[in-house]
Amino acid sequence: MKKFINKTILGSMAGAALLSIGACTNLDETIYSQIASEKYEFTAEDAASMFSPVYSNLRSTYWSWNGLNDIQEECSDLWCTPFRIGVGWGDLYITLHQHTYVNTLDHVWTEWYFPYNGITACNKLLDDEGVQGSETAVAQLRGYRALYYYILFDLFRNIPLDTTYDHPDGWQPSQATPKETWDFIISELNAIKGKCGDKNGFGQINNGTVNMILAKMYLNHEAWFRDGDTSYYGKAIDEVNEIIKSGIYSLAPKYSDNFKEDISGSPEIIFGVPFQFKYASGNYYANKWMNNAGRATWQFNGWATGGSACLTQFLDTYDEEDGRLADTWITGQQYDYKGDPIITSDGPLVYTRTLHSINGCYQMEGARLVKYEILSGNYGTAYDDIPFFRYADALLIKAECLLRLGGYKGESEQVAADLVSQVRARNFSANPAKAIRTVAELKGGSCYKYGYYENTGVLGGEDVIKQTTEGGDDIILGGLLDELAWEFVAEHHRRQDLIRFTMKNGQNVYNGKSWFCKSANTDVNDHHLDIFPIGYDFLDGNPNLKQNPGY
């Protein structure tokens, strides 16, 4: 048998190795030393090099240009990257925002290529006899492979399922059924439960990470399969209960503690992706969001495009006393690091709350994201760690499932309200009463004023408004959906949440609601946009693949 990897579909190991150069994180050496002590005299450097593609491809999956955070958020009701008049941008981001997906979209290439690179790296190591002698290493690799498949399954659903590195010459993968892939991910995760350790959730899979992936799989089962089986919500609760009862994690004192350059000290992080100055960079949100002149606030010297902006409809949902508002967004007159007003050639730098159109926004329009710590010099957000799974997410998964089930194993819907209030508490320190949410509020409608909005008028001239009114009263558990937005905006959450939450007519919010320059799909039976098309390059390179339905 010749070891053969299809470069178009699964990606070459050579490419993965190149990506890892200069991007090896100094992770805990426990699993490497265990491998080295088995059959081979590996040095720590040798083992780290072998494992590097497993880690580096997750970084590339998340923060390669057009990566996971973008594909999960740009198509949502929270923020967008419009065409900037006088600057450019837009194009593929407009496609994402308006849900007019095509199979040449860069994002679908990124989110297929790098996860399969990571899977190939896992398969290669799992086929190695030296690695097979270490239970810890095998558990880590199976956990990483399951994580990559979870990402692919969520985005594309109909994907190849490859579990070995050895293939005959000329082999090409075929798509598995969604049920086959689901069963594989679940079985893999259950097989390694309790074998990954309770510590070091940075770069390496720990037991809490395994629980979280399983909880996410169970939480979204009904949205993915639409078979009416609600028992999986109970399974999701069981998984997050293991995290809660472990006592290992707690909410960080401040919301912003989870978005510093170094978040290894936050008690909330279950699984984080490390981006460190000596080893790897990636987070480009300072560059993507900031106006060029606005860099002066942080003495940030890196490039800036002023591209992305918060949707006014979402910004208007915040309680002004919610600390997450100031921790996440900036609007109004901007000031430099000395406190002086920033002045541009067009006048004072003032970020407005309003946007004209996805097809044409002016440079100062829209609130800008400051959720991730921005450092001075050329650093910006480039080396900020990623909080992939947080304890707040575990608590809100439990709350959501309790509400969907009407209680579980003796715990009532009031427990759900208490959990949401617990997460809110740190953000309303000046007015603790506002942190309290009731069951009725969470089960009620959303406060988001859904409806199409676009202003095709010229800045400074007469407004030309196209607007519809839909509101959010018809969204089931709409109050909880709002909570998820405020807590997890710009954290690779929103697309999945919008698909999972439905309206009273049965359509999910993702398809069935309009918002800024995005029209609703009124066909309640049409769910093809719930997943993305498979990229043209991958279809062209493998005749065994079939395009997802509807594309």
Query: What pLDDT does 38 receive?
Result: 40
Residue 434 CA to residue 414 CA, distance in Å, equals: 17
Q: Which long-range contacts (CB under 8 A, 24 or more apart) does 481-486 make?
A: 481/446, 481/509, 482/317, 482/446, 482/447, 482/448, 483/396, 483/420, 483/423, 483/424, 483/437, 483/442, 484/396, 485/77, 485/78, 485/314, 485/317, 485/448, 486/317, 486/318, 486/322, 486/324
Region of residue 549 (phi > 0: left; psi between -120 and 50: alpha; otherwise: beta): beta
Q: Count H helices and E strands in the chain, helices first.
A: 22, 12
Q: Do residues 110 and 70 lie in contact, with contact meaning Cβ atoms separated by under 8 Å?
A: no
Closest CA to 122 of 163, 88, 173, 159: 163
pTM for the model: 0.92
Cα 197 to its chain centre, rounded Å, is: 24
- Reduced to 3 states (helix: H, G, I; strand: E, B; else coil), residue 468 is coil
Helix (H) or strand (E) holding 248: none
29: tokens are 């050496």
Q: Do residues 512 and 500 lie in contact, with contact meaning Cβ atoms separated by under 8 Å?
A: no
Query: What pLDDT does 13 receive?
Result: 30
Tens of pLDDT along 149-159? 999 999 999 99
Residues forming a β-bridge with 351? 332
Tens of pLDDT along 279-316? 677 889 999 999 999 999 999 999 999 999 999 999 99
Domain ranges of the chain: 1-192+543-551
182: tokens are 């689901």
407: tokens are 């209680």
HSE of 406 in the Cβ direction (CA atoms, 13 Å)? 1
- Reduced to 3 states (helix: H, G, I; strand: E, B; else coil), residue 320 is coil
**Amino acid identity at 353:** R
Query: What pLDDT does 525 receive?
Result: 94
Residue 260 CA to residue 468 CA, distance in Å, equals: 39
Query: What pLDDT does 48 receive?
Result: 66
Cα 548 to its chain centre, rounded Å, is: 22
Closest CA to 335 of 293, 280, 379: 293
479: tokens are 């109050």
- Reduced to 3 states (helix: H, G, I; strand: E, B; else coil), residue 84 is strand
R_g over Cα of the chain: 23
With a cut of 50, list the residues of the chain below it in pLDDT: 1-41
Q: Could you tell me which CATH class the domain 1-192+543-551 is placed in?
A: mainly alpha
Helix (H) or strand (E) holding 115: helix 106-126
Contacts of 486 (CB under 8 A, 6+ apart): 317, 318, 322, 324
Q: Do residues 492 and 390 lie in contact, with contact meaning Cβ atoms separated by under 8 Å?
A: no
- CA quadruple 93, 95, 99, 105: dihedral sign: negative
